[in-house]
Homo-oligomer: A and B are copies of this chain.
């Protein structure tokens, strides 16, 4: 609630959050310095304390905002009522667009969850109904996969298996960008070509992969 001293206090809190987001995503929370965040937000360190109490709580706020955006987006696409192929294409398309806008988010989420999985997953599960969404989404998807199997178009396939394959191929080239650049020379241009390929081909690629042997 703005007061007379600053009619736009909300904006400050948000500027801090945005600044923290940028610094945390770039450096990782552990290596990030609160001073750098304050500078980026154009405020004093003391204000971070005023709004967020501690660096950890600030990190939680940043993480939560990201996760609460990304997770439902993924689940929404996977849980739609589209037929299987369209659903895969839609999911890949949403993810690709999100990645084009923020290519480093997956790496950030991955790295932070790696060292703080307990705290962060608890945090996330308090904000969104993780379990419920998973059960309904995966339930529906599994039914589709079973139908495709019955129709002879897929081998027996678990929804989890398919989703992990999809996520791996979509996120890893970005999450592991630096690693892949060193290991296989995957530069920016190549990554963009790969992204274009995924949007056009990945759904069918996966369906071929899970298709039964030709008789």
Contact = CB atoms under 8 A, between A and B. Distances in A.
Interface in A164-185: 164-165, 167-169, 171-173, 175-185
Given A173-B168, A185-B160, A209-B209, A114 B107 contact: yes
A111 interface: yes
A161 to B, nearest CB: 7
Interface of chain A, helix or strand or loop or mixed? helix
Interface string A100-125: 00000001011101110100110011
B209 A134 contact: no
Nearest to A182: B121
A28 B117 contact: no
Contacts of A57: none
A113 B171 contact: no
Interface of A: 26-28, 30-31, 71, 74, 107, 109-111, 113-115, 117, 120-121, 124-125, 130-131, 134, 138, 160-161, 163-165, 167-169, 171-173, 175-186, 190, 194, 197, 205-206, 208-211, 214
